Structures are given as C-alpha cells and as structure tokens.
C-alpha cells in the first residue's frame, strides 16, 4: 500500500522495483516495531485509552486498530485526494463530486480530531 501510494504521487519512479521493495520493507519494519511497543506498554495504554487495568488480547487488538486508524486514515485521505486531483483532466471527477470529496475529507478529519482530543483531554 505504501509503495503504491508513493509511486502514484511520484515520489518513487513507477518502474523502480528496488525502491518499491525498500519502501515496503521500511513500512513493515515500522509496523513490526510498533507491535512490541504496544505489547510492552499495553497496560498503561489500556488504562489511558479505555480506562481499564485489564489487558487481554481483545484490548490489544482494539488499541492496535485505534492507533492504525489514527495514523493510516489521514495518510489514505491524503493519497485519495492527491490521486483525485492529479489525474488526467479527461477522466477527472466533476465539480459536484470534487466538492463532495472535499466535504467528506473535512468531516472525517474533524471526527478523527474530535475523537482524539476527547480521549486525550478526557
């Protein structure tokens, strides 16, 4: 996903498989680094995010999905908007669709910010 996104926005040349694999490995390494950190700090993260001392597999899965959604959703929103407005003009969406896309991006980003601030500030 990350390599495809970077090749679509022009950061990586589309035919360069070596750089594509490198980006994929870096993204996988970041995710694999986050898993032990989440497991080590699972108790404090669970208490902070969910208000409970009980840490089980379900709590760690929910916490992992929360962090993944918090990080990946803005990146995917950026990639979708980049692709939507950088495509060839012949196949680009119309004005109404572009407005709907921008409004949905604002709503989703606002919901993420509201949820994050609510969890952080209590």
Q: What are phi and psi of 96, to 5 degrees?
A: -65, -45
pLDDT at 100: 93
Q: What is the pLDDT along the chain (122 residues), one digit of tens a residue?
A: 677 777 777 777 777 788 888 888 888 888 778 777 766 666 666 666 666 666 667 777 777 777 777 777 888 888 888 888 887 778 888 889 999 999 999 998 898 888 888 877 86
Q: pTM of the predicted model, to two decimals?
A: 0.53
Q: Are 113 and 81 in contact (CB under 8 A)?
A: no
How distant is the alpha carbon of residue 75 from its chain centre? 5
d(CA 60, CA 66): 10
């Amino acid at each position: 996903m990350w390599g495809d996104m970077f090749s679509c926005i022009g950061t990586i040349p589309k035919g360069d498989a070596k750089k594509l694999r490198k980006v994929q490995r870096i993204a996988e390494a970041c995710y694999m680094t986050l898993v032990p950190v989440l497991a080590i700090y699972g108790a404090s993260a669970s208490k902070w995010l969910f208000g409970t001392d009980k840490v089980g597999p379900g709590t760690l899965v929910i916490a992992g999905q929360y962090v993944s959604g918090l990080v990946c959703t803005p990146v995917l929103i950026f990639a979708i908007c980049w692709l939507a407005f950088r495509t060839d003009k012949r196949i680009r969406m119309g004005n109404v669709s572009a407005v709907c896309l921008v409004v949905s991006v604002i709503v989703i980003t606002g919901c993420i910010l509201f949820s994050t601030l609510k969890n952080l500030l209590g």
